[in-house]
Amino acid sequence: MKLSFIGNGAMAKAMIKGAIKNYEIEVYGKDRSKLDALNSEFDGALHVKLLDGGVDTTGKCLILCVKPYALESVAKQLNGTAQALISVLAGTPIQALTQAISAHHTVRAMPNLAAAYHASMTTLTGDKAYQKQAEDILQSIGQTLWLESEKEMDIATGINGCGPAFLALVAEALADGAVRNGLKREDAYELTKGLFNGFAPLLNTSSHPAHIKDGVMSPGGVTAAGIEALELHNVRHAFIDAVHKAYKKTLK
């Protein structure tokens, strides 16, 4: 099966890196030099083509990876009716997608940059008749979760879409805290990487994140002192509000 990526930015690159072992891939973009540079990263295994002049999408499975504001201009370069359109455009509703691009099936997806390591948490919603096929495609880059509405999709974007940036901020802050107290920068980063690598299995085997916290935090201990500092600075509220603000941004 061939996947036709429309767009060649960071998200497209991450998805291609994860999916290339399972699919033949062609990529359409507006800049020949950038397309050639992308292809060279994959040892010439991609079929790269310019959008200029129009693209016959008949029967293709399109993976739309452009900026939301570019939807209208890109759609003008697409002719025919695709078999399927899988869009990763944040906050762009299915109605707008179907009005712009003709396809038998339209699905929204929100992967993240961990796709490059087959570790994306990807949410999907849209045409249920294409659910299995869409999940099969996106499971080549990690886990998937099908949601029943576009509202749920937009809410979830604040976690799986924006989450890597939020967690990167946590990692940076933890390392900076260690450096502030005298640990070498390289050692602080190494510790933080090890922490994140070990945390995923804990989360996967726990029924609730609070159980992990309670298992670590002994009465009057060092973890309790740290948790008190986080609560005093409203860190919990800050993350809740970050997801809320991200969701609201998808509606604009």
Tens of pLDDT, residue by residue over 96-120, are: 999 999 999 999 999 999 999 999 9
Helices 163-180 and 185-204 meet at what angle, rounded to 10?
130
Q: What is the pLDDT of residue 191?
A: 97
Are 55 and 2 within 8 A, CB to CB? no
Which two structure tokens, joined as six digits, stand for 13?
């690159």
pLDDT higher than threshold 90 for residue 129: yes
- 2-147 with 163-250: one CATH topology? no
Domain segments of the chain: what residues?
Answer: 2-147, 163-250
Q: What is the pLDDT of residue 8?
A: 95
Q: What is the pLDDT of residue 252?
A: 76
Residue with tokens 């029924």: 207
Which two structure tokens, joined as six digits, stand for 129?
């008749």
Instruction: Determine phi and psi for 118, rounding to 5 degrees.
Output: 55, 35
Instruction: Determine phi and psi for 189, rounding to 5 degrees.
Output: -70, -40
53: left (phi over 0), alpha (psi -120 to 50) or beta: left
Element (H, E) at 118: none
Which two structure tokens, joined as six digits, stand for 142?
């990690």
Q: Quick: pLDDT tens for 22-55.
A: 999 999 999 999 999 999 999 999 999 999 878 9
The percentage of residues in the chain with a pLDDT greater than 70, rounded to a whole number, is: 100
User: What CATH number does domain 2-147 carry, 3.40.50.720, 2.60.120.920, 3.30.70.1350, 1.20.1430.10?
Assistant: 3.40.50.720
Q: What is the pLDDT of residue 123?
A: 97
Q: What is the pLDDT of residue 53?
A: 75
Integer CA distances (angstroms), 145 to 34, 96, 170, 252, in order:
32, 22, 25, 24
Q: Quick: pLDDT tens for 204-236.
A: 999 999 999 999 999 999 999 999 999 999 999
CB atoms within 10 A of CB 37: 12
Q: Which CATH class is domain 163-250?
A: mainly alpha
Mean pLDDT of 148-157: 95
